[in-house]
Amino acid sequence: MKTFQATRLFFDRAADLIDMEPSWREILTTPNREVQVRIIVTLDDGRIASFLGYRVQHNAARGPMKGGMRYHPQVDLDEVRGLASLMTWKTALANLPYGGAKGGIRIDPRQFSRAEMRRVTRKFIDQIHDVIGPDTDIPAPDMGSGSAEMAWMRNQWEKYHGFNPACVTGKPVEHYGAKGREEATGRGVGLMACKLMRRLGRRAGQTSVAIQGFGNVGSHAAKFLTESDFCIVAISDISGAYYNPQGLDIPAALRHYLDHDSSLEGLEQGRRISNGELLQLDVDMLIPAALGGVITKDNVDGVRASIVIEAANNPLSPAADATLHERGVIVLPDILANVGGVTVSYFEWVQNRQHYKWGLNRVRQELDHVLAQAFESVWEEAAKHRVSLRTAAYLIGVRRVQQTMELTSVE
Ligand code: GLU
């Protein structure tokens, strides 16, 4: 199922619960603006190449729109549109003063040199600089992009509009970035896992965890969970999965990842299995932290974990989600589980606007505060309506956006 349709189905489950009128469903699911551009660059060898770039601005009722820029060969308008809507519900759920947006470039960054990626990024900003900015729409990293891309974006945007580092978040710390932004999404996933365990009355020490994906999110989640006494038995990346039922040595895996150009290839730990097998391991907690759509009706019956934490955006299809819910599996939904990233983006934006720098401890403390409030509100809402955590999370986010719109847009 395509991304936008999936997010729309999740939206409808919450909208049904509050008997939302069709006109409001239309208003809340239709993006404000969709931009598609063609990015033309000269490659290092003199050849010319072109790529499609997108920015979907979904909803600006609660504030400037906010969301990452995905660099991936499967990026298309439908995916960006679905992910932009998730950002609207996510920022509303965490009560950040933002709307939602998402962007991306249909490109495989591993096939190009850094100089080529820099040119692609700058040319992309050339084409969209007039629709983004610190008070309208603020890009950030997502899959395939990181702090270097954000520094290029900021620099290119400022060529048109002048100094204003709040125009992009997720920048390097030396370039007005925030301490703790890089670890924030993975750390947030770990913090959420701990909050869930406390609510379930379960102990971290007896909990086995499999994490699919060892990029920025998966690796920081693994680090935090290991430090919190969870037993990580499987990790994976594009090179395959590594499984040891007794537990992996995560600090050694992190060192390997850093020493091998952000890859687990060649890791001499555990048994080598496939990414598909990892999803079906006999573990307590499964954390998909890579691509969307990895658990569908075709493989959901093989999932044996009793807790699934969606570190990635949209990793479960609606059918798989319904099956897991029926089986009593607890799913911590993406818009709650990975909200730590955009939360620390917000802290970065605030610091940029105030020309004041926070220390790492303050960032971590305030992150925990925002996440605790979001988690508890979802937990209570789910109990009140006897619905899944996902439907409860959507309900809170969607209602907040609708209430704000009702105050201003209806004459
Ligand atoms: N790309 C991240 C997300 O999906 C972070 C967005 C941001 O920091 O604005 O939540």
Rounded to 10 degrees, the C-alpha dihedral 99/309/81/16 comes to -80
38: CA distance to ligand 1 center in Å? 23
Share above pLDDT 70 across residues of the chain, in percent, rounded to a whole number? 99
* 313 Cβ closer than 6 Å to some ligand 1 atom: yes
Burial grade of 174 (CB within 10 A; 0-12, 13-18, 19 or more): exposed
Q: What is the pLDDT of residue 410?
A: 58
Q: What is the pLDDT of residue 264?
A: 96
Distance CA 368, CA 296 (A): 32
Q: What is the pLDDT of residue 411?
A: 60
Distance CA 341, CA 182 (A): 8
Residue nearest to atom 7 of ligand 1 (CA): 342
CA of residue 137 relative to chain centroid, distance: 17
pLDDT tens sequence across 229-268? 999 999 999 999 999 999 999 999 999 999 999 999 999 9
The DSSP string of 175-243 is GTPPTTHHHHHHHHHHHHHHHHHHHHT--GGG-EEEEE--SHHHHHHHHHHHHTT-EEEEEEETTEEEE
Query: Are the C-beta atoms of residues 82 and 116 closer than 8 Å to each other?
Result: no
The catalytically annotated residue of 2, 66, 90, 102 is 102
Distance CA 202, CA 177 (A): 36
Specify the DSSP class assigned to residue 361.
H
15: CA distance to ligand 1 center in Å? 24
341: CA distance to ligand 1 center in Å? 5
3-state SS, residue 61: coil
pLDDT tens sequence across 256-313? 999 999 999 999 999 999 999 999 999 999 999 999 999 999 999 999 999 999 999 9
Distance CA 381, CA 362 (A): 29
* 237 Cβ closer than 6 Å to some ligand 1 atom: no
pLDDT tens sequence across 197-225? 999 999 998 899 999 999 999 999 999 99
* 169 Cβ closer than 6 Å to some ligand 1 atom: yes
Q: What is the CA radius of gyration of the chain?
A: 20
In angstroms, what CA-CA distances link 119 with 47, 72, 116, 176, 287?
14, 16, 5, 22, 34
Q: What are phi and psi of 272, to 5 degrees?
A: -85, 120
Query: What average pLDDT score do residues 123-127 get?
Result: 98
pLDDT at 3 over 70: yes
Compute the mean pLDDT over every residue in the chain, rounded to the nearest whole number: 97
Domains and their CATH numbers in the chain = 33-175 (3.40.50.10860), 184-337 (3.40.50.720)
Query: What average pLDDT score do residues 178-203 get?
Result: 97
* 186 Cβ closer than 6 Å to some ligand 1 atom: no
With the most atoms of ligand 1 within 8 angstroms of its CB, the residue from 58, 80, 87 to mutate is 87
Active site residue 102: yes
What tokens appear for 13 in the block? 């489950």
Distance CA 341, CA 109 (A): 21
C-alpha angle with apex 359: 356 to 364, nearest 5 degrees? 120
* 381 Cβ closer than 6 Å to some ligand 1 atom: no
Query: What average pLDDT score do residues 131-152 get?
Result: 98
Query: Are the C-beta atoms of residues 190 and 217 closer than 8 Å to each other?
Result: no
Distance CA 97, CA 393 (A): 17
pLDDT tens sequence across 378-408? 999 999 999 999 999 999 999 999 999 999 8
Query: Are the C-beta atoms of residues 176 and 105 closer than 8 Å to each other?
Result: no
Q: What is the number of the ligand 1 atom nearest to the C-alpha of 313?
A: 4
369: CA distance to ligand 1 center in Å? 18
- Alpha helices, H only, 18-76: 22-29
* 140 Cβ closer than 6 Å to some ligand 1 atom: yes
What tokens appear for 107 in the block? 């490109």
pLDDT tens sequence across 60-96? 999 999 999 999 999 999 999 999 999 999 999 999 9
In angstroms, what CA-CA distances link 337 with 25, 121, 178, 371, 393?
25, 29, 21, 9, 10
